[in-house]
Structure 1
Amino acid sequence: MKNILLAIVTLATFTGLKAQQNEVTTTETMFQNENSDKGLRLKGNALFLPVGIVNVAGEFQLSKKITMQGDIFVSPWKSFAGHELQYYSASVEGRYYFKQAFDGFYLGANVAASKFTFQKWSYWNDRIYDNTYSNPNNTSTDVFVMSDLYQKGYSILVGITAGYQFRLSEKWFMDIYGTVGNSQDFYKGYERGTGKRYDGETGFNRSAEIMPYRGGVMIAYKFK
C-alpha cells in the first residue's frame, strides 16, 4: 500500500513539474513570437530611385503599437527636364499601428524641414511675369518670362501620414504611405542666367499652403 501511495505522489509531482515546464516554455515562445519583429528597419523609396532621387529612412519600435521613423530626401538635380529640382529635407514621424508595430494600417504625425532650389509648376510656361503682383510698390520696368524664373528658400512642414506596411519575407517588408500637411515656405525669386530678383523684394517672400509633401513605396529590411 505504501509503495502504491509513493508511486501516486511521485507521478503527481512529476506531472505537475512537467505542466509548469510546458507553461513556462509556452509563455517564452509567445513572448519570442510577439517580439520577433522588433528591431530597426532600414528603408529605401522604390518610386524615386529610378530618377536619381534618394529617399531613405529608419524605423524602430517604441511599444507594441507605436514606432518612430526618421527619413531624409535628396533630389540633387540642378536641372531636371528643364526645371530646377534641388530639394533636401529631413523629417521625424511618430506612428500608431492599429494591429501591432510594423503590421497593417497606421497613422502618423510628421514634422519636416526642407531646403530647396526649384521652379514651381505654375511657372512652366512662357507667359510674362507681372512683378507688381507680389509687390504693388515695385517700380521696376524689368520684364520677365515665367519659364526663366525659379525659387530658392526653405520650408517648415507639419502633416498627417496614412499608410500600410506588410511582410514580403522573413526579413523584407513593404511600406506604402502618403503625407498631407501645412507647408510654411520662405523663399526668394530669381531669373535664370542673370541671377536677378524678379519679385522686387530684398528679403524673403512667404507663402503657406496645404499640400501632399511625402509619399511612396518603401522597401524595408529588418535588423535584429
Structure 2
Amino acid sequence: MNFRIWVSFFVVWSGILFSQQAEERQVFVKGNALLLPVGIINTAAEFQLAPKITLQGDATLSPWKSFAGHNARFLIAGVDGRYYFKEAFSGWYVGANVSGAAFNISKWNYWNNEFSKNKQGEITPYINSNLYQKGYGFIIGAVGGYQFSWKERWNLDVFLAFGNAQDRYKGYDKLSGDRYDTDHGDGWNRSGEWLPYRGGIMVSYKIK
C-alpha cells in the first residue's frame, strides 16, 4: 500500500514539475547580423529544455555562384546542445554541435593564379583560381559564446564554433569541365581538417 502511495505521489509531482517547466520554457528565433551584409543567410531557433540547457537548430546558406570570381555556394545545417553557466539565454555558455554540409566552392588555398599540383607534387595544366570542389561533409565541434538582453524580448548572441570537418568531394576545372583531382580516378576525394566553421552575432527575438 505504501509503495502505491509513493508511486502515485511521484507521478503527480513529476506531472506538476513538467507542467511548470513547460510553461517556463522559452523559444528564441535568430538571424546572424554579421553575415547578412555579405549576402550569407544564417537563421536559427533556440529552445529551452531545462533551466540551464537549450537546444538550437540552425542553417547557413550562401547562394553565391561567384564571389570575387570564385565559387561560393554552400548550405550548412546543424544542431547545438548548449549549457549556460548562469541561466538559459543569459551569460556565458558552452556546447556541442553536429552539422552536415553540401557545397560548391573554391577553397581558400586555391585563391591564387599558380599552377595546381597533384598528390605527387607534379605540376598540372590547371590554374588554382579556376578550380572548385563540389561535394558534402559532416562536422563535429564545440560552440561557445555569450548571450545577453539588450531590450525587452530581444537578445544578442555572440558565438563561435570550432571543430573537425570530414568532406567528400570531386574537384573540377571550371574552364574545361575536367576533373583535376585524377589521383582518385572517378571516385570521391577526401579531406579532413580542424577549422572555425560558424560564428557571428545573432539578433534574437523571444517568441515564447
TM over 0.5: yes
Structure with greater Cα Rg: 1
| Aligned counterpart, 1:104 | 91
| Aligned counterpart, 1:217 | 201
Deviation at 1:195, TM superposition (A): 1.4
Whether 2:61 is the aligned partner of 1:77: answer: no
Q: Which string of whole-angstrom CA distances, capped at 9 and with x for unpartnered residues, describes residues 88-138 of structure 1?
A: 01000100000000000000100000000110111111111123538x8xx
- Residues 62/54 of structure 1: CA separation in 2 closer, same or farther (3 Å cut): same
Name the SS of the counterpart of 1:62 in structure 2: strand
In the superposition, the TM-score normalised over structure 1's length comes to 0.79
CA distance in 1 between partners of 2:172 and 2:63 (Å): 19
CA contact (8 A) 2:32 2:41 kept: yes
| Aligned counterpart, 1:62 | 49
Name the SS of the counterpart of 1:126 in structure 2: coil
Amino acid at match of 1:111: V
Name the SS of the counterpart of 1:190 in structure 2: strand
| Aligned counterpart, 1:44 | 31
CA distance in 2 between partners of 1:207 and 1:142 (Å): 20
| Aligned counterpart, 1:146 | 128
CA distance in 1 between partners of 2:140 and 2:124 (Å): 37
In the superposition, the TM-score normalised over structure 2's length comes to 0.85
- Residues 37/165 of structure 1: CA separation in 2 closer, same or farther (3 Å cut): farther
Amino acid at match of 1:74: L
CA contact (8 A) 2:30 2:204 kept: yes
Name the SS of the counterpart of 1:69 in structure 2: strand
| Aligned counterpart, 1:194 | 176
Amino acid at match of 1:182: N
Deviation at 1:147, TM superposition (A): 1.0
CA distance in 1 between partners of 2:86 and 2:23 (Å): 15
Whether 2:79 is the aligned partner of 1:95: answer: no
CA distance in 1 between partners of 2:24 and 2:90 (Å): 9
Deviation at 1:38, TM superposition (A): 3.6
Structure 1 unaligned segments of length 5 or more: list them: 1-31
CA distance in 2 between partners of 1:95 and 1:221 (Å): 18
RMSD between superposed Cα atoms in Å: 2.0
| Aligned counterpart, 1:16 | none
Deviation at 1:43, TM superposition (A): 0.1
Aligned residue pairs, count: 187
Name the SS of the counterpart of 1:143 in structure 2: strand
CA distance in 2 between partners of 1:218 and 1:175 (Å): 5
| Aligned counterpart, 2:161 | 179
% identical aligned pairs: 51
Structure 2 unaligned segments of length 5 or more: list them: 1-19
Greater strand fraction, Structure 1 or Structure 2: 2
CA distance in 2 between partners of 1:49 and 1:197 (Å): 33
Amino acid at match of 2:134: K
Deviation at 1:165, TM superposition (A): 0.2
